[in-house]
Amino acid sequence: MILAPRLAAGDPNTGTGFEFDVIIATSIGGTPFTGGEGSVIGTLIGSLIMGVIGNGLNLMGVHAFYQYIIKGVILFIVVALDIAIRSGTFKTLLGKS
């Protein structure tokens, strides 16, 4: 719906390939990857962060293949941190009980 006015056309295939960015944005926003509830504000913040990262990679001239790799590493880090925080492992690593 956002791309249709920009392209001045309605194509049902428009937006294909953005699923990976959406998954990363919602994970950054705080929605658990294992399922659960997230917030609209968190998802909006995650979307803004992903927009800045994607735009920055484009401005630096990073090839699209490497952009997917970088975004995959970001997703891995976010999910690992989410699991560590929710299981309490992160607190024990910091020395807090």
The residue with tokens 């705080």 is 30
CA-to-CA dists, residue 59 to 19, 25, 38, 46, 53, angstroms: 22, 20, 31, 20, 10
In order along its 97 residues, the chain shows pLDDT tens digits of 666 777 777 777 777 778 888 889 998 888 887 777 888 899 899 999 999 999 999 999 999 999 999 999 999 998 888 888 878 776 666 666 5
Which candidate, 55, 25, 52, places its Cα nearest to that of 40?
25
CA-to-CA dists, residue 68 to 33, 62, 74, 78, angstroms: 19, 10, 10, 15
pTM of this prediction?
0.74
